[in-house]
Amino acid sequence: MTFKSRGEGCGIAGRNDFVFPERITLGHHVHIEGGGYFNGQGGLTIGDHVIFAPGVAVMTSMHRYKGATMIPYDEVDLLRPVTIERFVWVGMRAMILPGVTLREGTIVGAGAVVTKSHPPGAILGGNPAVQIGTRDMAAFQAMVDSGRFYLKLKQEQGLRKREVLDPR
């Protein structure tokens, strides 16, 4: 499969559907789990160090129904690019709709349907997705400045997962 561009250290696990891959740009150290659907028709840009859990859908086009000449929609595809900035984590079965920008450091919760853009470091959940929290951006920036990038460290240093019981 040929993407518009694909950075170093990208990993695509399992089976995913990439529609118009020649319009999809993948940054460095992007990881995509299986079962995803990525529609690049309207243009899809994915920044460095982005992680997609299984079953994520990203849409960059939609059917025209307002002003359509047929029912339920007509032959016109409305294109709206999607941009996913650096250090974004998208949870299982989340959906990103056309025209959205996921700003740097955003976390999208499992099953969320993101219909609009939010500020950097937003933690999103629900349908439609709303901001349910914000990352500690000072701590986030300190990790960025010191190069603490999970996928890169995992690839370069063999970083392994640890299990710790959540005290909540």
3-state secondary structure 102-152: ECCCCEECCCCEECCCCCCCEEEECCCCEEEEECCHHHHHHHHHCCCCHHH
Catalytic residue among 29, 31, 49, 63: 63
- CA distance from start to end of the chain: 43
The DSSP bridge partners found for residue 25 are 5, 45
Lookup result for tokens 């695509």: 12
For residue 155, give the H/E element and its range. helix 150-157
What's the Cα-to-Cα distance from 7 to each of 30, 39, 62, 91, rounded to whole Å? 8, 19, 28, 22
The reply to whether 28 belongs to the active site is no
**Structural tokens at position 135:** 């990352």
Catalytic residue positions, numbered: 63
